[in-house]
Amino acid sequence: MKKILLFAAVLSVALTVANAEFCSTNQTGSVRLVWGSGPWEGNLQVCLNGVWGWVCHNAFGTTDARVVCRQLGYTITGAAAKTSSYYGWGNGTILMDYVSCTGSETSITSCGYNTVLTSSCIHSRLAGVVCQSGGTCTNNNIRLITASSSYRSHGRVEFCRNNQWGTICDNGWDNSDARVVCRQLGFDTSQYSYSCCAGYGRGYVPIRIRNVGCSSSYSRLSSCSYIANSAGCSSSEVAGVACYGRVTSSCTNGQFRLWKSFSDTGPSNQGILLYCKSGAWRTVCSYRFNCYTAKLICKAMGYPGALGTTSYSYYGRYYTGYYDTYYWSCSSTRTSLSQCSYVNSRYCCSTSYYGGCRSYCNRCTASRAVGLICYSPSQESGTCVNGTVRLVNGSTSNEGRVEYCYDGDWVPSCGMSSITASLICKQLGYNSTYASVFNDERFGRANSRNLLNYKFCSSTHQSLSQCTNVIKQSSCYITPSSCSIEYGLRCYSTGSCTNDGEIRLVNGTIEQEGRAEICLNGVWGAICQTSWGRYDALVFCKGLGYRGAGPIARSNAYFGETNGPVLFSNFGCGGYESGIYSCSKSSQPNFNCTQQYTAGVTCKDSCSNGQLKLRGGKYFNEGTVLVCYNNMWGLISDTAWSDGDAKVVCSRLGYRNGIAKSIRGSYYGKPRLPVHFKHVSCFGQETSIIQCSKTILSLDSGKLTLNTDDVAGVDCIHDEPTECIAPPSWINTEGSQCQSNGTIRLEGSEERGTGRLEYCYNGYWSPFCKLDPVAASVVCKQLGFVNYTAASVISTTAFGVVQNFSLFNNIVCNGTEDNVSDCVVQTSECIPLCPKNIGIKCFNPGMCTNGDIRLVDGIIENEGRVEICTDGVWGAVCDEGWDKTDAHVACTQLGHSDKEPVVFLNSIFGAGQYPIVHSNFACGGWETNLTDCSRTVYPQFNCSRNNTAGVLCGYDCEDGEIRLVGSEWNYEGTIEICHDHIWGLISDSSWSTQSAEVVCRQLGYQIDGTHPYYRSHFGKPPNKTIHISNIGCTGHERTISDCTRTTLSLEEGKTMIPQTNVAGVKCYTPDQCIPPPTGGVSCTSGRIRLTGGRSGVAEGNVEYCYHGSWSLFCSLGPQEAVVACRQLGYEQYDVTAVFDDGRFGLSSVNSLFQNVSCIDAPTATSLSECDLVDKCQSKCQYPIGLRCYESIGECEEGSVRLVNGSTGESGRLEVCTNNIWGSVCGRGFSVTDAYVVCRQMGLGESEPTVYTDSYFGDGNEAIIYSDFNCGGYEETVSECRKRKHGSFTCSRSNTVGIICRDNCSNSDVRLVGGPTDYEGILQVCYYNTWGLVSANGWTDREASVVCKQLNYNASRGVSVNGSHYEASRRTIQLINVACTRNVEELDQCDKRLLTPAEGIALNGRVSVAGVRCVIASETVPGTSSAQSSGSSSMAYVTVGSINIIIVVLILIIASAIICIMKRKYKSRAPAHLTRVPPPAMALPKIPPDAKLADDYDYNMATDIEEYVSVVDTYEVENVYEKVNQVEATSFN
């Protein structure tokens, strides 16, 4: 008799009219049994947390049942555990799972148990208990103990006497007694039978009465005669009955109803399914009864749908004379029973020799009834009023987890739209129409398993009560379950803002950034990130006064979640709009967006790099220093901030002649701006802070530093004090050091016209502390230099110091004098101090050509002090008025007009030895020679030698540009980087492979095989500064400028040149550089094509037309691949698959170029817009292949799958994004990431195995993700952090593969794929994985061990070839299993356990084992049961006679078949005999209660005929085998 499969694997919450029921605090820990026929039995409930809740049957056994019975006041003898919701599918809360008692406990709460429920802990798998001894009762009551029966209406009869339960001795027990018992128990008495000989167990209470004698008209057993003792009775002589139900009330043909034993117990929405036919209620046939039929029948009875089917035996036995011989068959497309098939089950089960039908059988019999559970929503109030809603677990009253009152219980919402959220808030009393929806379970989980999925509300609904309840259901069953996500909500009232349209930035670390918020209808709200881009950000920033280019659009709640609703989405600004409101957009409630996906922006200022200003000072010349960098005003850390740094700032701000004072400690305040620079170190002569050494902080680092560092300020002071002393007293007394006042001399040098200048004043030689150019020229004339009178006036100690003061204040000449003595000597009461005495140098002409210029004393090329040839002598330029325009003319004259020059003041390259002959240049910029510019000429000015001008002529390079030098090959060399339009070098400190890869990527080379070089391997150009040190790249950056680095000032970089080694790299190494050919005519240059791929698929080797010739690629990055697909017309996706394994044909190929780089053109639509590296041809083993995506796929965003594995739990990981399946790169992929994948797929929660070496192949798809970083708590991989396609490169030999592990223990067994719980393919658990058993040597003995291990009430198991059931993609784990008779578990048998690799190798090559467990109700009684007296003996004689008749009948039929087959197949063997016969059909079994079944003989006969008709298709040898089986079974 075939059981109906339990379709309850997903059932998990309130099902029926029963509501959640509270229990009091003093009941905590109490237990009770419900839905049984009395308080001694039922499904187990326990009181915890103020609620009566269920216990799962996982691991629940006899030991646990004993503790329950003890706690209830019964004795533990005979305590039995029942499983699979034996007393009815439950509702409400499940509180315990995996109860584990030792047996000594007095309360179940003292046992071990889990409160975190497993996925198998559902309401169709509740634990039940039968306490078969102890307790009190009311005299003369009876009860039916069904613990040892397969039917709820069959069992041992117990009678209450002296308020104690007792059994009844079977002496004199007959059908009259059974009829009275069934009547008293509430059954119809159309069919019944008695049982003797402890057929339903001996019981666990003493025999109370014997020799019962009833009249069939009695209604209670106590009315019958009996003897109140057990004399002469043994425990093997216990009476039982088999009662049968029957509904005798009138009915209308076509009606359905449900029936069960003890109709007043348990839910009313489940039972044996009855159908009214011919005016009588009959059981519905289970033949071809499916879930679609169940759904439509439940609907026909007025229920919303079906929950599942189960074995009808759970509900008892219906009258066997009333069953429907027709069966229902519905398909998934049917919407009502009227559309289904209603078919006569009669079929020809035996044919005659001439082909006619010899006999007919019915597939529908009394033993093929249906147990059905319909869904019945409660109409009664339980813990709440249906239709109400609340917010739970929020930190404020306006937020929390949404819970609806449904079926009288509070249940969470598994989904939420903006419209629904608004109506909820409206019902809760909030006056704003906006609400925030949360899908991250921030308000916790209720973890209640329920039927309501969510409320569906449309724009036409005005209140929540008008919305539709969406129930969880599949195509067949209503499938209540817990929510994968429990939604939360925040409601609002107006008043948080007043000016509609006002915008602001919120929660940014700096003032230029924050979450974008808008005031609308009195509420501040955020913007959804969907379609939020740079043009939207630009318009938003303009509205706040930030007009700088390149604002950064932020997403994923970068600045934290908003406290208000998300008001707008899908902005579509063009960038030209005056305000964000002028842009196209979507408004609430026309989109769904949660707080985690709000937009933000980092605005940019309209300023240029190095621009300075002061803020926070009392006066305009003081304050905190603000510097512009990357279009953002920012700050400077005061770490190492000095007066030299302050001098550069003040000079740049126009305060050149005063004293600059550095101010530290955020003295003038610390504005909320990023810190751009740290460790600034200026010499003081730089013209811009950009030229100083410094550490440049990234924006993120700058924001962090704002919180940790004080910032720099300056005080630019105007007044410059002078120092002088009173003349010494002896100055008025004539000295004797010199004779002629007014004479001069040069001391301290042997060179003519050079030395310390001294003047004879009142008989004393006095040094000069001051000397202007005019007086100097008179000195040179006096010394004999008459052809060139300009002099170099030098304040120095190089010629010695005679004294540190002068005896006169100054000597003033008009230039016409021939001797200094003719000039005016100025004296005063304060004479000057001069630690350095004035020296002079006079010149003769002829050393250069007038008008020529040169740069002198520079360290690097194209820099130095500007010197101009005037009157045949080189002369310096005073920096007074010297600017970039003048410097540009100088550089143009020198042949370097390319870029803006760098101006140096304050004699940064030294003063030199030549006179300062020009000052106050005022060039227009168009001149080609400095002498063409307006200027002041010597000696018409006075200029300190500390103020000579210098220049650095810039190169024609852009900042961040790089090149390789020092090698004959362009793919290797020392790295030069352009900074401030100056080529410089990179220190090899911290130089790494990752940094080298970034250089090669930026240059357009492939990064595979990149090799970094150290210690100036390719040489160190002597005339280049060091620009960068301490560089740290991760390897993923697009350019070297994206890496963390320390940039050095020009001065510091130059000082580091001697002692610093520089970095080099080798990017690509062809065997030899062969220049590519040109002049081809086979194609149009710039075109591309795909070759070698499948027809109709956008795939193949990618070829590029290079100068008229088709060329393959040896290297192609992900960004370049996207551009190639765009050029081919596949513009829908920015995802491509790149292959380098030759899968489209060809090997050992040449490419006419090395690589192509689209780094600077990411939006290009053609590869011709990108940079082509084509100095050399390249070779590779395989050309680059490409697959472009051209149409929408059919996968769900964020879903995952395992592909190409040998089992359903293993394979290459693929993730769906934008309707495309793609692989995952193995870089950074961990067990934690795999755990999230397996959990998302429902494949067990044991630790998975991870492969990152394309173990399951690399597939034919794009590699779309890399660098996963899951925390392990995520529900889906979509919630994990990761890198997306285009931001990484990954070899196809590094895709991720996973083997998920099941949540099972070694040696566990289960049956899957069968039509009932009692049969199917056998699966065993090893290595935390369910696997299969080889069928080789598999027999009934091994099958019986499995049934015993599964705790099925089975007398034996039947071995079945696993292919008889549905396919199971699992690995073979056990072979050669051989069990002995007495083992309890399969693990105790002899066997060979395979390794996973061995098991995979056997997949599909061996048959797998299956099992069918024959339950007790189907087992033929053994001869030992016939050892009884009285009427029971007569009953077994009758059964024995039936058995003999059946066997004789089968032997006769079999003999006839043999003769026919021998005659029929004498000359030839028919084709069908070469096939493998189908699995053995189950033999008909005689249950112990069949003695008085009026129609049983007929049913037996039809089953035998059906069986023989099957035998007719077997080979002759199989006929003998089946006959022998029948004989052995019948006479055991």
Percentage, residues of the chain above pLDDT 70: 89
Verify cis geometry, omega within 30 degrees of 0, for the bond prior to 267.
no
* Position with higher pLDDT, 21 vs 856: 856
Distance CA 432, CA 338 (A): 50
Give the three-class secondary structure for 1034: coil
Mean pLDDT of 216-235: 91
Whole-number pLDDT of residue 1510: 32
With b for 16 or more beta-carbon neighbours within 10 A and e for fewer, the 38-48 pattern comes to: bbbbbbbbbbb
Q: Are 101 and 65 in contact (CB under 8 A)?
A: no
What stretch of H or E contains 875?
strand 873-877
Q: Are 193 and 175 in contact (CB under 8 A)?
A: yes
Q: How far apart are the first and last CA of the chain?
A: 20
Whole-number pLDDT of residue 888: 93
Q: φ and ψ at 1093, to 5 degrees?
A: -85, 180
At 21, which amino acid appears?
Answer: E
326-329/1064-1066 β-pairing: unpaired
Q: Are 517 and 523 in contact (CB under 8 A)?
A: no
Q: Identify which of 218, 169, 227 has the alpha carbon closest to the alpha carbon of residue 189.
A: 218
Whole-number pLDDT of residue 226: 94
Running DSSP on this structure, what letter comes out for residue 598? B
Whole-number pLDDT of residue 1356: 80
Distance CA 600, CA 532 (A): 9
Diameter of the chain measured on Cα atoms: 170
Q: Are 45 and 115 in contact (CB under 8 A)?
A: no
User: In this predicted model, what pLDDT tens digit does every residue of 781-793 receive, in sequence order?
Assistant: 999 888 887 888 8
Residue 1079 CB coordination number (10 Å): 7
1242 has a pLDDT exceeding 90: no
Whole-number pLDDT of residue 397: 92
Whole-number pLDDT of residue 378: 57
User: In this predicted model, what pLDDT tens digit does every residue of 158-208 receive, in sequence order?
Assistant: 999 999 999 999 999 999 999 999 999 999 898 999 999 999 999 999 999
1460 has a pLDDT exceeding 70: no
At 3, which amino acid appears?
Answer: K
591 has a pLDDT exceeding 70: yes
Reported confidence tier of residue 1489, pLDDT bands at 50, 70, 90 = very low
Whole-number pLDDT of residue 154: 94
Mean pLDDT comparison of 517-531, 956-970, 1274-1288, highest-scoring range: 517-531
Reported confidence tier of residue 1038, pLDDT bands at 50, 70, 90 = confident
63 has a pLDDT exceeding 60: yes
Which residues have C-beta within 8 Å of that of residue 839, sequence separation ≥ 6? 748, 749, 754, 755, 756, 757, 793, 794, 795, 796, 798, 799
Distance CA 1137, CA 1125 (A): 10
Q: How far is CA 1253 from CA 798, 1206, 1226, in A?
A: 73, 17, 7
12 has a pLDDT exceeding 70: no
Reported confidence tier of residue 1495, pLDDT bands at 50, 70, 90 = very low
CA 777 to chain centroid, in Å, comes to 82
With b for 16 or more beta-carbon neighbours within 10 A and e for fewer, the 669-683 pattern comes to: ebbebbbbbbebbbb
Whole-number pLDDT of residue 1528: 34
User: In this predicted model, what pLDDT tens digit does every residue of 71-103 receive, in sequence order?
Assistant: 999 999 999 999 888 998 877 778 899 999 999
User: In this predicted model, what pLDDT tens digit does every residue of 678-687 receive, in sequence order?
Assistant: 999 988 878 8
Burial status of residue 1096 (CB atoms within 10 A of its CB: 0-12, 13-18, 19 or more): exposed
User: In this predicted model, what pLDDT tens digit does every residue of 239-270 receive, in sequence order?
Assistant: 999 999 999 999 999 999 999 888 767 888 89
Which residues have C-beta within 8 Å of that of residue 52, sequence separation ≥ 6? 21, 22, 23, 32, 45, 46, 92, 93
Reported confidence tier of residue 1457, pLDDT bands at 50, 70, 90 = low
Residue 354 CB coordination number (10 Å): 6
Whole-number pLDDT of residue 1194: 75
Per-chain mean pLDDT for the chain? 83
Distance CA 79, CA 101 (A): 14
Q: Identify which of 1228, 1196, 1225 has the alpha carbon closest to the alpha carbon of residue 1286.
A: 1225
Q: Are 898 and 955 in contact (CB under 8 A)?
A: yes
Beta strands in 482-558 (DSSP E): 488-491, 503-506, 513-520, 523-527, 552-554
Query: In the beta sheet, which residues pair with residue 310?
Result: 371
Whole-number pLDDT of residue 710: 92
Distance CA 53, CA 913 (A): 101
Reported confidence tier of residue 1248, pLDDT bands at 50, 70, 90 = confident
999 has a pLDDT exceeding 90: yes
Whole-number pLDDT of residue 1072: 63
User: In this predicted model, what pLDDT tens digit does every residue of 1253-1282 receive, in sequence order?
Assistant: 888 888 888 899 988 888 777 888 988 888
Distance CA 1089, CA 1124 (A): 9
Running DSSP on this structure, what letter comes out for residue 74? B
User: In this predicted model, what pLDDT tens digit does every residue of 1378-1409 receive, in sequence order?
Assistant: 998 778 888 888 888 887 778 877 777 788 99
At 522, which amino acid appears?
Answer: G
User: In this predicted model, what pLDDT tens digit does every residue of 1503-1512 receive, in sequence order?
Assistant: 323 333 333 3
Which residues have C-beta within 8 Å of that of residue 1524, sequence separation ≥ 6? none
User: In this predicted model, what pLDDT tens digit does every residue of 453-503 receive, in sequence order?
Assistant: 899 998 899 999 999 988 887 768 887 778 888 999 999 999 889 888 899
Mean pLDDT of 1099-1126: 90
Distance CA 962, CA 380 (A): 78
Distance CA 976, CA 983 (A): 6
Range with the poorest average pLDDT among 139-148, 999-1008, 1110-1119: 999-1008
1319-1326/1409-1415 β-pairing: antiparallel
Tokens 């079929």 belong to which residue? 347
Distance CA 1299, CA 1205 (A): 9
Whole-number pLDDT of residue 955: 79
1340 has a pLDDT exceeding 80: yes
1481 has a pLDDT exceeding 60: no
With b for 16 or more beta-carbon neighbours within 10 A and e for fewer, the 1384-1411 pattern comes to: eebbebebebbebeebbebeeeeebbbb
Whole-number pLDDT of residue 1368: 65
Which residues have C-beta within 8 Å of that of residue 676, sequence separation ≥ 6? 627, 629, 630, 632, 634, 635, 636, 696, 697, 702
Distance CA 66, CA 82 (A): 12
Q: φ and ψ at 344, to 5 degrees?
A: -70, 130
CA 837 to chain centroid, in Å, comes to 76
Verify cis geometry, omega within 30 degrees of 0, for the bond prior to 589.
yes
Whole-number pLDDT of residue 645: 94
1350 has a pLDDT exceeding 70: yes
User: In this predicted model, what pLDDT tens digit does every residue of 378-434 receive, in sequence order?
Assistant: 544 356 788 899 999 999 999 999 999 887 778 999 998 889 999 999 999 999 988
Query: Sign (positive/negative) of CA torsion 1389, 1392, 1396, 1401?
Result: negative
Give the three-class secondary structure for 1455: helix
Distance CA 1111, CA 848 (A): 58
Query: In the beta sheet, which residues pair with residue 1083?
Result: none
Give the pair of three-digit tokens for residue 1326: 């090893």
Q: Identify which of 886, 988, 871 has the alpha carbon closest to the alpha carbon of residue 927.
A: 886
Distance CA 663, CA 817 (A): 50
Whole-number pLDDT of residue 1516: 30
Helix axes 1431-1464, 1496-1511, angle to 10 degrees: 30
Q: Identify which of 559, 561, 553, 558 has the alpha carbon closest to the alpha carbon of residue 603.
A: 553
Helix axes 1516-1531, 1496-1511, angle to 10 degrees: 150
Distance CA 435, CA 422 (A): 6
Q: How far is CA 403 from CA 90, 204, 436, 448, in A?
A: 21, 48, 15, 11
Whole-number pLDDT of residue 1519: 32
Running DSSP on this structure, what letter comes out for residue 1484? P
* Position with higher pLDDT, 40 vs 1172: 40
Whole-number pLDDT of residue 1442: 45
1358 has a pLDDT exceeding 60: yes
Tokens 């006036």 belong to which residue? 793
878 has a pLDDT exceeding 80: yes
Q: Are 1289 and 1118 in contact (CB under 8 A)?
A: yes
